[in-house]
Structure 1
Amino acid sequence: MPTERIREHAGATTVAARRRRLRADRARQLADLLRHQIISGAHAAGTLPHEGTIGRDYGASRNTVRQALDLLRAEQLVDRVPGVGTVVVCRKYRHGLNRLQGLAETLHEQGTVTNQVRTMAPVPAPVPVAGRLRLPPHTDVLCIERLRLLNDLPLSLDVTYIPMDIGAGLIGCDLEHTDVFRLLEELTGQPLGTADITLEAVNADAHSAAVLQAPRGAAVLMLERLTHLADGRPVDLEFIRFRGDRLTMHGLLHRV
């Protein structure tokens, strides 16, 4: 093939690739907008508008709309029902990050939160745990693992470490229907103050995937939270794995 033909062919291939990339970008951007509408409850009836209506409302081509809906179907957020249209098949619950609350307090408007206590026992604190709780290494702490359910659907798997001088009072309490935060305030006689949090996405290991009834290797939201009493003492170190397909995090931030 002559050099000039090769250049023309390469140029045409590059242009086609750029167009495909732009279509994919537009589809992803539209999917983000539609996802927000779904999560915020804008489609209360559970059915999305017709593809043509979406295209007009968002200034998108029909192919872009279809690609965006395909992305949402791949997330198992919507599905196509013959004779009905595109329907929402998975609800995501809003979890606030701008207030220090237990899960039942945060999601009380969304339904009923119950807890399955899988383990609860004193254990020697691993060095990192002891350090975060300001305890000598290997000091006994109360370790609690709970499966949290919202409306009987698995939502999170929590592992909590609490100093034994406080944790001993939790043994025998109704942890199935009561947030640990409320019990900590009752046992210590003072309110909780602040919490340091870290949020990241991790892959579900075989154990947590089975407990959460999620696909093995699926992405879950890992929230690490160290909670302090009002006097500054750290009293609760948690590692919480949330099903990312059932929860969305939100908050109000102020620029200082």
Structure 2
Amino acid sequence: MTDNVLSLSSVPLHTQLRDVLRARILDGEYPQDSQMPSESELGALFKVSRITVRQALGDLQKEGLIFKIHGKGTFVAKPKTFQNVSTLQGLAESMTGRGYEVINRLRSFKFIAADKLVAERLQVAEGETVAQIKRVRLINREPISLEITYLPKAIGERLEKADLVTRDIFLILENDCGLALGHADLAIDAVLADSDLTQALNVEAGSPIMRIERLTHDASGQPVDFEHLYYRGDAFQYRLRIDRQKGDQA
């Protein structure tokens, strides 16, 4: 098809229009934060009805590529940063290889009494002393996540003088502490930003936040790192590949 002419194929017009507009957004023809043509302008440009345009724009909005401001129009959204979680990597380890700058803002490092959940995850007695580290992770100088890490006391003491501003805790555990990491168990859900998260991540109260509970074990299966990771829902994605495994039934 030519640039502004949709084909007479079996593919619905709104799907064709969505795909064309998506390509223009991803190619930068419609830059981030720029205003999209109006519904009537797109209808005239592609010779389709406003209903078709609305369906296409609705699909793009669901994908997070555009957003609407009442009374002003439709705008191109900022593309979300993503991390592939098919392998066990720290955020900086994963992102710097793709050209992103990752730095950390250390909010606190202290030793606390383990509550019931932390004690259960780290397999220590409730009330036993553990290290708690709070860091805001910034990607290209923008706050993306709040990371709250709990470590057994002996490991935490070895991290007190470590560079927690530029380095991943995973790499510190491996390279400085000599721990061989094995696997991690993850649980993902969604929460709304409270006052602590709004301050840390520069979002409005009630904004959607992706919360990840991650328990990392060493190569022998011993839990060594328990974390709550809070990611901005408007700025970050977790991606993974899942392969199909067929059962015995036909």
2:128 maps to which of 124, 139, 144:
139
- Cα distance in 2 for residues equivalent to 1:124 and 1:194: 26
Instruction: Specify the alignment match of 2:112 in structure 1.
Output: 123
**Residue 44 (1) aligns with residue 27 (2):** yes
How does 1:147-162 map onto structure 2 within 5 Å?
147-162=136-151
1:166 and 1:187 in contact (8 A); partners too: no
Instruction: Specify the alignment match of 2:3 in structure 1.
Output: none
* 53 and 135 in structure 1: CA distance in 2 versus 1, 3 angstrom threshold: farther
Could you say which structure has the higher helix fraction?
Answer: 1
2:207 maps to which of 203, 218, 238:
218
Percent identity among equivalent residues? 36
Instruction: Specify the alignment match of 2:89 in structure 1.
Output: 101
Please tell me the residue identity of whatever aligns with 1:104. Answer: A
Query: Which structure's CA Rg is the greater one?
Result: 1
- Cα distance in 1 for residues equivalent to 2:218 and 2:25: 38
After TM superposition, the runs of 4+ consecutive aligned structure 1 residues lying more than 2 A away are: 48-56, 60-80, 85-89
Q: TM-score, normalised by structure 2?
A: 0.75
- Cα distance in 2 for residues equivalent to 1:70 and 1:195: 37
Unaligned runs of 5+ in 1: 1-25
* 75 and 211 in structure 1: CA distance in 2 versus 1, 3 angstrom threshold: farther
Please tell me the residue identity of whatever aligns with 1:45. Answer: G
Instruction: Specify the alignment match of 2:54 in structure 1.
Output: 66
1:46 and 1:87 in contact (8 A); partners too: no
Instruction: Specify the alignment match of 2:191 in structure 1.
Output: 202
Instruction: Specify the alignment match of 2:152 in structure 1.
Output: 163
* 54 and 165 in structure 1: CA distance in 2 versus 1, 3 angstrom threshold: farther
Please tell me the residue identity of whatever aligns with 2:104. Answer: N
Please tell me the residue identity of whatever aligns with 1:43. Answer: L
- Cα distance in 1 for residues equivalent to 2:228 and 2:207: 17
2:83 and 2:95 in contact (8 A); partners too: yes
Instruction: Specify the alignment match of 2:216 in structure 1.
Output: 227
Please tell me the residue identity of whatever aligns with 2:27. Answer: A
- Cα distance in 2 for residues equivalent to 1:79 and 1:134: 45
* Alignment coverage as a number of residue pairs: 217
Instruction: Specify the alignment match of 2:182 in structure 1.
Output: 193
Q: TM-score, normalised by structure 1?
A: 0.74
Q: After superposition, give the CA deviation of every residue in 1:197-218 in whole Å (9 maximum; x if it has no partner).
A: 0111111111111210111101
* 183 and 76 in structure 1: CA distance in 2 versus 1, 3 angstrom threshold: same
Instruction: Specify the alignment match of 1:114 in structure 2.
Output: 103
Deviation at 1:63, TM superposition (A): 2.3
Q: After superposition, give the CA deviation of every residue in 1:204-247 in whole Å (9 maximum; x if it has no partner).
A: 11111121011110111001100001111101110011001111
Deviation at 1:124, TM superposition (A): 0.6
Instruction: Specify the alignment match of 2:225 in structure 1.
Output: 236
2:90 and 2:168 in contact (8 A); partners too: yes
Please tell me the residue identity of whatever aligns with 2:182. Answer: G
- Cα distance in 2 for residues equivalent to 1:65 and 1:249: 30
- Cα distance in 1 for residues equivalent to 2:213 and 2:45: 39
- Cα distance in 1 for residues equivalent to 2:220 and 2:25: 42
* 79 and 223 in structure 1: CA distance in 2 versus 1, 3 angstrom threshold: closer
Secondary structure of residue in 2 paired with 1:107: helix
Instruction: Specify the alignment match of 2:164 in structure 1.
Output: 175
1:93 and 1:247 in contact (8 A); partners too: yes
Instruction: Specify the alignment match of 1:184 in structure 2.
Output: 173
2:158 and 2:177 in contact (8 A); partners too: no
Please tell me the residue identity of whatever aligns with 2:79. Answer: R
